[in-house]
Structure formats: C-alpha cells, structure tokens
Chains A and B, each alone.
Chain A
Amino acid sequence: VALSTATRPTGSAPRAGKRAGQSRAKQRLRRQEGLAGYVFLSPWLLGLMAITAFPMLFSLYLSFTNYDILSTWDQVEWVGLDNYRRMFTRDPSYWHAVQVTLTYALIAVPLKLAAALGVALLLNRERRGVGLFRSLFYLPSLLGGSVALALVWRAMFGGEGAFNDFLSLFGVDNAPAWVNDPEWALETIMVLAIWQFGAPMVIFLAGLKQIPTELYEAAAVDGANQVRQFWNVTLPMLSPVIFFNLVLETINGFQGFTSAFVISNGTGGPVDATLLYTLHIYNQGFGEFRMGYASALSWVFLIAIALITVAFFSTGRFWVHYSDGDD
C-alpha cells in the first residue's frame, strides 16, 4: 500500500485529504461518544462519590474519634488508635462476634453448597418435573431472608416449638430449647441459612447442563464407575461454578443479619451465641451510640472481607479448572 501511494503521488493527494476529513469526522464522533459516556455514567459516578467513597473516608476518620450521634462536632475528640485497641483488648464481645461469624460462615456455607450440589445432581438426572422441582427448591431463597421466616424459626425451634414436638414422637423428652440455648442457638440460624440452598442449586444445575455428554461416555468406555465419573469429570468441570458459588455464599454468609437479629431479639444472645459481626456493629453504633467504635469495627470487617476475597482468588487457580484455558 505504501509503495502504491509513493508511485502515484497525484492520486494520493485527494485520497489523503478525504482520509483526513474522515478521521476528523471520526474524531468528532469519538469525542461525542466519550462525552456521552460520562453523561450516562454521571448518576453512577455521583453515587460512587457521595454514597460510597465519601462515607468510606468519613468512616475511616470517625474510627479514630469518640464520635457518638448525640454530641456536636466540636465535642468530637481524636482518640487515635484507641477504638482499635479497645476492639482487641477491652471488648470481650468482639472476639465472640468474630468467633460466631467465622463458625457461621465456615459451617453453614459448605453445608449449604453441599446440599445445593447434591440436590442439583439428583435433579440433573431427571427428565420430567425438573422445572417444578427447581422452582420449589428455589422458593426458600426468595423468602428465607425475611423477618417472617426468622419469626417462624423462632417459634419452630423454641423450647415448646414444633421441632421438639416432632422429637417427642421419637421419645426425646429432654431436647434443648434450641433458640434459647447458647449451645444451639447459632446452629438453628445455620439451619435457616442451609434451608435456602435453592439459589446456588439453580446455578449448579445450569453448570451441570454445560458438561459435554462425551466426557461421561469416554469415562464410561475407560471403565470409570459413577463415583469415579463424579470425581474425575463432574467435579473438575464444575469447579468454576463451585468457585463462583463459594465466593458469593461466603461473602453473603459474612453479611447475615436479619435471622440473628430477629431470633435473638436484637441482643445476639443467649450469651452472645448469635452475635454475628454485623449485629455487633449495629448494636455498638445504634444501640450504644458508639459511632466511632462502630466505624472502627466496620473497617476491620471490610479489610477482613477483602483479604478473604483475595485469598479465594489466589487459591482458585490451584483447583479451578477452566476448560478453554491453559490450566
């Protein structure tokens, strides 16, 4: 192309002019598009600045002060790292909250995903009624986060609730008062979380449909039984979906609030047994009006969640198998 324009200088002049005109028009269009981009983005950008970024920085500042909602701004004192020190040394409920939240996430999330995968595997083999089953299993995921269901759980797992009535059918008369028993209150809340396995199940089911039939046929030809097919075909092929669900459910798990709040009537009790971290933030900020301390709690929580997310993504490459990639 360069050679032809060099040999025909007369022809190239008008063409170059046309090209310059075109690129000017193109530039104008691009500028217009760049401007339109920011016009369309402006509500989101404003939201990012005013509703997310500014409050985050503001909360960082508050976390170094003794601010409570009642005092005026000139009464606010800079207390340095005092809030953070208090968290780790002078607030026994803090370590309870950490322990409760970790227990909740580490037990409820894997069990929920196991239930989701198990039911998805059963459903995947079925031909008829899949749509109906899928919808009905999904229903608790829509309703379970509500106050109403937490109230139902509270009544069902009370000392004289339906669950103990059920146990007495089997001659169990000394059953605990689940939600009122420090040993069992958290487990009750976990059962409520696991009960909502429908949402990850739907995602697993879609993932299972994507696994090519040929892989199973090849495995069967090689003499793999169903158990080996599950370990060597299903699990690796499903690992991106498992990863996705694991990240999503873990982050959601750390943010549980409603069930613990309603079942413990806002106290996180009995004896801090259901004091999820979010509940501790709420109680310190809006119950005790320690807004500075609650901000410090929030920042530690944020950093913890960020670290866990990073940990997930950095370990993911060791066990998540993407069939179209290299690893």
Chain B
Amino acid sequence: MSLVAAAARIDEQPPVRANPRPSTRRRSFLRVLMLIGILAFVLYPLLWMVGSSLKSPTEVVSNLSVIPQEVTWANYPDGWNYIEGISFGTFFVNSTMIALATVVANAVSCLVAAYAFARLRFRMRQVWFAVMIGTLLLPSHVLIVPQYVMFKYFGWIDTPLPLIVPKLLATEAFFVFLMVQFMRGIPRELDDAAKIDGCSPYGVFRHVILPLSRPALVTTAIFSFIWTWNDFFTQLVYLPSPTSYTVPIGLRLFIDSSGQTSLGPMFAMSVLSLLPVFLFFLAFQRMLVQGINTSGLKG
C-alpha cells in the first residue's frame, strides 16, 4: 500500500458519528469558528514575517500589522548583500549542496540497511535491530564533542564532509526505521516468486524491494532535505568560516546587529530561507503528513 493511497484512505473515511440532532449545525459552525481562530494564531507569525520583509525601516518592529503601509522590496537586495564580501547566494549554494548530498546519502544507505533488517535472516539480527532503535533516542548533542575531535583530526573541519559522510553510513536511524516499517508491508510472496525465478538476495533487492520502495524513498528524501536545510547545530559546529556558511548560519549574523535598519533585511532573508521548505510543503503536504503517521517522524 503506498503512502499516498493510505493518506487518501484516511481522508475518505466517514465521519466518526453522524449526529442527527438539529443543534449539530450550530455546533459545527462554532467548531469551525474556533478552528479558524486557532489557525489565525498559528499563521500570524509567518504572515507577519512575510509582511515585515516588505516594510520600510521606519515601520518594521513595533508594528503588529501584517500588511505594510507601503511595499518596499529594497530589503531583499539589502539582505542578500548584508554581509560584506559574501552574498547570501554563497550560503544558498552551500546549503543546497549539503542538503542534496544528504538526501542521496540517506536514501541509499538507509534503504540498504533497512532491507537487511526487514527481509534477510542473519546472525544477531535482533540484537542489531535493538541497537538501531536505541540510537533513535541518542541525542546528537551527546556525541558532538568527540565527533568534532575526531573530524578535526581527519582535517575535515570547514568542509561539508562531517555533515555528509555520517549519512552515507546510515546514521539517521529514523529513516532506517521508516523504511523497515514500509518494507514489512511489501508482500513476501513477491520475494519468494523472485527467489523461485533464481534471484539471489541481491536480485530480490534490485528487482523487488528497490522498485517497490519508491514511496518510502521519496518520504525519506523530502524529510532529509527539510531537516538538513533547517539544521543549525551541526553546521554551526563544523562550518566556522564565512565562505563555508550555510543559510541558517548566515542568518545568525543578523542577531549581532539588532538596529532597526537591519530588521527588514533580516526578515527578507528569513523568508527566502524558508521558501524551499515551504515549496516542499506545498508539493508534498499529503506525504509529509502521512510520513509522520507511519513513523512518528518530527517535522
């Protein structure tokens, strides 16, 4: 069953209760009113950010209105060239490269590991599986110091390697788990049929599991991209010089100067930084919502 199909099915389910009482309509109206009220509170910070990115320096901060009195686009070029010598273009290129490399690394390594866990019988499988689940709960902050010392010894600081190489080794246990769960839903009869046709475990992977795992791969790719794009902690640690900065680290430079004039450019760059995530959201919202259902993934 594909994730999209599952998502569609949830939407098609009939309402929990068909309440025939006449007060139902009024209640429903009140509920929708409440939902819209909550939605306004939820969306306000985002709309305010977009609105503020178009406001002139004189009206930015203290103004709670979402719509600018007078639309100014100047904040965007100002923000783009805010840091002397380096434009935000460099940060966007760096972020994109790291995010794309992470997407590929996660998809390949986690798929391969998940196939072993979901389909193959080998010694100590249960033990390794339990260890894998254990690493799900391991906070990255606990490992950052020794990993930093190790990567510094390799000479990898200020390169994207500390951010990408671990992903090549399936260290994102969330995605391994997600794919194991997904593969368990693929009928085993398909494996057996392939085996009868003479397929080795490698053949089964190549001809059965790989093509059927596409939905799980897409979910992994989307979440990998969004998480890496938003990641701040590891990029802050491993990328110390401005030429290797990513977008979140570049945005941080706006904190140091909290004068009125830099707030507009700050909002402008904030909006740009969220744009790729927002576009992913628009394109794949069904999958994203379903993705957290199957595995409890965080956004």
Partner of B299, one of A48, A123, A138: A138
Given the known A-B contacts A47-B170, A52-B135, are A127 and B15 also in contact in the complex, defined by CB atoms under 8 Å?
yes
Tell me the minimal C-beta distance from B230 to chain A in angstroms: 4
| A-side contacts of B143, CB under 8 Å | 51-52, 55-56, 59, 298
Q: Is there contact, CB below 8 Å, between A203 and B251?
A: no
Cβ < 8 Å to A, chain B residues 216-259: 226, 230, 232-233, 236-237, 248-249, 251-252, 254-256
Within 8 Å of chain A (Cβ to Cβ): is B61? yes
Given contacts A38-B122, A124-B16, A134-B289, whether A143 and B170 have CB atoms under 8 Å apart is no
Given contacts A32-B201, A40-B116, whether A142 and B251 have CB atoms under 8 Å apart is: no
Instruction: List B82-141 residues whose CB lies under 8 Å from chain A.
Output: 109, 112-113, 115-117, 120-123, 125, 128, 131-132, 135, 137-141
Which of B145, B168, B252, B288 is most buried by chain A, counting CB atoms within 10 A of its CB? B145
- Contact indicator B145/A291 (Cβ below 8 Å): yes
State whether the Cβ of A269 lies closer than 8 Å to any Cβ in chain B.
no
Which of the four size classes fits the interface of chain B? 35 or more
Contact B128 A45 (CB under 8 A): yes
We find that the number of chain A residues with CB closer than 8 angstroms to chain B is 108
Contact A195 B116 (CB under 8 A): no
- Say whether A16 faces chain B, with CB atoms less than 8 Å apart: no
The answer to whether A162 touches B62, judged by C-beta atoms less than 8 angstroms apart, is yes
Contacts A44-B170, A125-B16, A216-B17 given; indicate if A33 touches B142 (C-beta within 8 A).
Answer: no
Is A255 within 8 A of B299, CB to CB?
Answer: no
Query: Which of A85-93, A103-111, A148-156, A182-190 lines the interface with chain B?
Result: A148-156
A60 to B202 CA separation, bound complex (whole angstroms): 39
Q: Name A58's contact: one of B28, B150, B201, B273 (CB within 8 Å).
A: B150
Contact B248 A164 (CB under 8 A): no
Chain B residue contacts of A211, Cβ below 8 A = 16
CB-CB under 8 A for A152 and B45, given A199-B299, A254-B139, A302-B139: yes
The yes or no answer to A218 lying at the interface (CB within 8 A) is: no
The answer to whether B48 and A156 touch across the interface, beta carbons within 8 angstroms, is yes
Contact check: which of B46, B142, B237 meets A139 at CB < 8 Å? B46
Query: With A133-B35, A262-B252, A291-B149 given, is the CB distance from A44 to B10 under 8 Å?
Result: no
Residues B16 and A146 in contact, CB atoms below 8 Å apart: no
Q: Which residue of A lies closest to B11 (CB)?
A: A131
Cβ of B169 and Cβ of A146 under 8 Å apart? no
Q: Which residues of A contact B166 (CB under 8 A)?
A: 47, 51
- Nearest-CB residue, chain A, relative to B252: A147
A84 at the interface (CB under 8 A from B): no
Chain B 165-205 per-residue mask, 1 if CB under 8 angstroms from chain A, else 0: 01011110000100000000000000000000000111001
Q: Are A244 and B230 in contact (CB under 8 A)?
A: no
Is A69 interfacial (CB 8 A cutoff)?
A: yes
B141 and A281 within 8 A (CB)? yes
Q: Mark A18-60, 1 if CB is under 8 A from B, else 0.
A: 0000000000001011111110110111111011101110110
Main DSSP-derived SS at the B contact region: helix
Name the prevailing secondary structure of the A interface residues: helix
Does A258 sit within 8 A of B, measured CB to CB? yes
Q: Chain A contacts of B34 at CB under 8 A?
A: 122
What residues on B are CB-neighbors of A54 within 8 Å?
Answer: 146, 150
* Interchain nearest-CB distance for A141 vs B (Å): 3
Q: Are A206 and B10 in contact (CB under 8 A)?
A: yes
- A126 on interface, CB distance cutoff 8 Å: yes
Question: Is there an interface contact between B251 and A138, defined as CB atoms closer than 8 Å?
Answer: no
A5 at the B interface (CB under 8 A): no
Q: Which of chain B's residues 240-299 have a Cβ closer than 8 Å to chain A?
A: 248-249, 251-252, 254-256, 263, 266-267, 269-271, 273-274, 277-278, 281, 285-286, 288-289, 292-293, 296, 298-299
Query: Known contacts A52-B138, A133-B39, A305-B139; is A148 also within 8 Å of B274 by CB?
Result: yes
A43 CB contacts on chain B under 8 angstroms: 109, 112-113, 168-170
Would you give the shortest CB distance from B38 to chain A, in whole angstroms?
A: 6
In the complex, A135 has a CB within 8 A of chain B: yes
> B237–A30 contact, CB under 8 A?
no
B42 in contact with A294 (CB, 8 Å): no
A232 at the interface (CB under 8 A from B): no
Confirm or deny: B4 has a beta carbon within 8 angstroms of a beta carbon on chain A. no
Q: Once bound together, how far apart are the Cα atoms of A50 and B45, in whole Å?
A: 42
Known: A41-B113, A145-B230. Is A199-B142 also a contact (CB below 8 A)? no
Tell me the minimal C-beta distance from B297 to chain A in angstroms: 8
User: In the bound complex, what is the Cα–Cα distance between A163 and B286 (angstroms)?
Assistant: 33
Q: Which residue of A lies closest to B293 (CB)?
A: A206
Q: In the assembly, what is the distance between CA of A306 and CA of B120, in Å? A: 30
B62 partner residues in chain A, CB cutoff 8 A? 160-162, 164-165
Among B61, B112, B120, point to the contact of A33 (Cβ < 8 A).
B120
Contact (A258, B141) CB under 8 Å given A32-B200, A32-B201, A36-B200: no
Q: Report if B161 contacts A (CB, 8 A).
A: no
7 additional A-B residue pairs with CB within 8 Å, beyond A56-B143, A122-B34, A217-B17: A34-B121, A122-B31, A133-B35, A140-B46, A149-B49, A255-B139, A295-B146
Closest 8 CB pairs of A and B: A47-B169, A37-B122, A141-B299, A148-B270, A36-B201, A55-B146, A40-B116, A37-B120
